[in-house]
Amino acid sequence: MRRYFRAYPAISSRQQGADRLVYTEDDLRKVLWQAVDPKFEGERPSTIRLAADIYLTKPIELGAYQYNVTIDGGRRFLIGEGDAFSGSYLFGLPDGTIEDISFIGCTFKSITAPNIFKGTALTVFNDLQMLECHIEVTGGGLIFTGAITFNNAEIHFDNNPWSIGAGLTFVGVVRFGPYVYQIQNTRTVFSRTSIGVGCGTPTPSTSLDVDGGLRVRPDSITLSGTDPVIDTADRSFFDITIDATANGYIQMTTGHPGQIVVLKFETVSGTAQLHDVTGATFPLADIHVNKNHKNKVPSSHELVTFIYGGGEWSEMARSENT
């Protein structure tokens, strides 16, 4: 089997101590223990660089420690089962808190083991990163098994052959190939798939799929003076006060095709009208209101909805509340 090796340039002994090359399973186990061994007196490893494929004979059992290490596979080397491997997972996670381990550019290869990591309901993993990683599998399985609690995790695999796991408490971001999921306490907050964007759902069925409440934050504005203008550039909902100086016709800036704007008139003191606005006299966007509401001063608590298309705002709906 061909193996690839890295050579270090002439760098300081301190840096050589912090960066470790590993060639075998024994090397990897030894350096991982040096990262947390309370009796170790040398320079603790910060980056463990794979210099060859690492084939395991049994799972690596991690401890309840703060590791502060990055395992770098260089996007060419793997950690996986050797011919004599015995076990159902590659890495064991402890009962207790484990912190600060990153896997960068590593491939995880499984032939018989159905899981990459195994923990329990007593496992808490803080600050796990798995970036630009890959999985080679013979059968299906889980990346994580056990009711593990993850805080601030970032998982990125360039393929999507497995499930992340079941029964997890997971706070973080998961990316499988082009698909992105932001998960908070096992609930998907945000997802992006080939179908669209999901808010509250991992499987959007339309370009935007919202599973939960939708909030449109208002912009509170005051209209005053002659022919006051509502700037629609970056808002969809306006809480509007028409003060005593407001007169003439209310104008709106140009929108985007398909943009919807809701105007809610909270307090009305002036005489400014919401009316058809067209032509060179009013150089902003044309406005077309419902034919039954022309030349009308909005009343307090009135709500009017417009949609933009064909270079003009057209009224969609109106509610004259008291």
Q: What is the pLDDT of residues 156-188, one digit of tens each?
A: 999 876 678 888 999 999 988 888 888 877 778
Q: How far apart are CA 314 and CA 182, in angstroms?
A: 37
Distance in angstroms between the alpha carbons of the first and the last residue of the chain: 81
Rounded to the nearest integer, the mean pLDDT of the chain is: 90
Q: Name the DSSP class of 245.
A: T
Please tell me which residue, 192 or 17, carries the higher pLDDT value: 192
User: Does 2 score more than 70 pLDDT?
Assistant: no
- What local confidence, expressed as pLDDT, does residue 117 receive? 95
User: Does 233 score more than 60 pLDDT?
Assistant: yes
17 φ, ψ (degrees, to nearest 5)? -70, -40
CA dihedral sign, ordered 34, 38, 42, 46: positive
Residue with tokens 């395991």: 56
Spell out the domain ranges in the chain: 13-177, 219-320
Residue with tokens 């550019």: 105
Contact 289, 315 (CB under 8 A): yes
User: Does 17 score more than 70 pLDDT?
Assistant: no
Q: Average pLDDT of 27-49?
A: 95
Its pTM stands at 0.71
Q: Which helix (H) or strand (E) holds 145?
A: strand 142-145
Confidence tier at 216 by pLDDT (50, 70, 90): very high
Q: How far apart are CA 142 and CA 151, in angstroms?
A: 19
Q: Average pLDDT of 215-219?
A: 93
Q: Which has the closest alpha carbon to 91: 133, 132, 51, 52?
A: 133
Contact 28, 60 (CB under 8 A): yes
16 φ, ψ (degrees, to nearest 5)? -60, -35
Q: How far apart are CA 200 and CA 107, in angstroms?
A: 31
pLDDT tens track for 111-155 = 887 889 999 999 999 999 999 999 887 766 789 999 999 999 999
